[in-house]
Amino acid sequence: MTALEDYAPGAILRVAFCSEANFSSWADPRGVELEISRIMYPAPRTQADELAGGIFHYGNRYFLQCIESPREAVEAIYQRNCDDARHKNTELLAAAPITRRMFPGNTMNYVSMRGQLLELLGRHDIGEFNPYRITPEILDEFLQMYAETHR
């Protein structure tokens, strides 16, 4: 049973999860940036990827991902992340049904916004990017900032 099974099949969900980079055992000696660019390089698309839209941020060896899609696609993407050797300690931060999507399907964009994100975290007494400390309220503020910046 997954945490997402509480939602109806086909329900459109906004889900946020985080993980820690697990590059130390196999990363390219030229640096972690190359590994991040490999993750960003278009991989073979699955039906779940085509249905999903979202954003992700990477910093301090952590990933934060926010995706929107029907429940089954979100579950598939979340499980793929859990099973990916490049990630460890994957944790679901938030899940909620939505009536209106923020991200179009078939998109997954890297979001830098480092300065704005650090400022937001600082207002919540979090001194550095650590998505395991992000609450649903902080996540909502981050998504509002993203929406205002990317209109």
Distance CA 117, CA 145 (A): 9
Which strands sit side by side in the sheet containing 12-21, from one edge to the other? 87-97, 12-21, 62-70, 53-59, 107-110
CATH level 3 topology of 3-111: Alpha-Beta Plaits (3.30.70)
Percent residues over pLDDT 70 in the chain? 83
Query: What's the pLDDT score for residue 29?
Result: 54
Q: What is the pTM of this model?
A: 0.85
Average pLDDT over residues 78-107: 92
**139, pLDDT greater than 90:** yes
Which range among 39-43, 140-144, 145-149 shows the weakest confidence by mean pLDDT?
A: 39-43
> Taking all residues of the chain, what is their mean pLDDT, rounded to a whole number?
86
Query: What's the pLDDT score for residue 1?
Result: 40
